[in-house]
């Protein structure tokens, strides 16, 4: 709920410097109305992240104060039609265009849909097969890793954010297996890089 606070000032004689700053139109002690939503004085609600909620609360609980604040803050501009701007347009102008808390959503980077297969030498005549790019087709890498391990009866692991390492040289068979299991991966989307160094 809103609270009001009084600011007591001493006698004019005890505060010699402040006597000249006193406004004769203001009634002392000053009563401050605090917002029930943001807990700031109602004059500062417009600077909060959600001023519309503060405005609704003030209109519901203190309509006279709401009327005073809205008539004081509305600029006397006119639109092209000659009508005063509506509150929606005014609020649109006040909205922050850049930065802010969670205002801007990151756009997903568009990565080309390519699956690359490479044979990497491990030791002497042993190889591992690296499959990259399944993530671009929205294929679950853990599920693909389990599938490859079961299909080829070998060890397989997800090493990077879009890379599966299969123990053994399966570059000849893996293209057909991928297309059989995931038909959305077509022939043009698969690159066989051959033997590459790590």
Query: Regarding predicted confidence, which is higher, 7 or 141?
Result: 141
Lowest mean pLDDT among 25-29, 148-152, 166-170: 25-29
pTM of the model as a whole: 0.44
The domains of the chain are located at 27-74, 115-195
Q: How confident is the model at residue 150 (pLDDT cuts 50, 70, 90)?
A: very high
The string of pLDDT tens digits covering residues 163-191 is 899 998 888 888 888 888 888 888 888 88
For 55, the enclosing helix (H) or strand (E) is: helix 51-61
* 119-128 own/partner pairs: CB under 8 Å, 24+ apart: 119/169, 119/171, 119/194, 119/195, 119/196, 120/195, 120/196, 120/197, 120/198, 121/195, 121/197, 127/168, 127/169, 127/195, 128/165, 128/166, 128/167, 128/168
What pLDDT shows up at residue 22? 74
Q: How far is CA 38 from the centre of its chain?
A: 22
The string of pLDDT tens digits covering residues 88-120 is 566 666 665 555 555 555 555 566 778 889 898
Lowest mean pLDDT among 1-5, 38-42, 92-96: 1-5
Mean pLDDT of 13-32: 68
Q: Which CATH number fits domain 115-195: 3.30.465.10, 3.30.200.20, 3.30.780.10, 1.20.1630.10?
A: 3.30.780.10
Residue 114 CB coordination number (10 Å): 14
66-70, 82-86, 124-128, range with greatest mean pLDDT: 124-128
């Amino acid at each position: 709920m809103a609270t009001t606070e009084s600011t007591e000032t001493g006698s004019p004689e005890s505060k010699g410097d402040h006597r000249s700053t006193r406004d004769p139109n203001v009634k002392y002690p000053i009563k401050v109305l605090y917002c029930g939503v943001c807990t700031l004085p109602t004059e500062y609600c417009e600077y909060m992240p959600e001023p519309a909620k503060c405005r609704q609360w003030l209109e519901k609980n203190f309509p006279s104060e709401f009327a005073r604040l809205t008539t004081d803050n509305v600029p006397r501009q006119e639109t092209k039609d000659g009508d005063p701007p509506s509150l929606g347009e005014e609020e649109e102008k006040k909205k922050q265009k850049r930065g802010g808390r969670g205002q801007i959503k990151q756009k997903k980077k568009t990565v080309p849909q390519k699956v690359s297969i490479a044979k990497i030498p491990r030791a002497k005549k042993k190889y591992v097969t690296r499959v990259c790019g399944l993530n671009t087709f929205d294929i679950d890498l853990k599920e693909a890793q389990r599938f490859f391990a079961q299909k080829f009866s070998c060890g397989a692991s997800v090493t990077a954010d879009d890379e599966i390492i299969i123990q053994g040289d399966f570059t000849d068979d893996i293209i057909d297996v991928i297309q059989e299991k995931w038909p959305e991966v077509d022939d043009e989307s698969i690159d066989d890089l051959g033997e590459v160094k790590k």
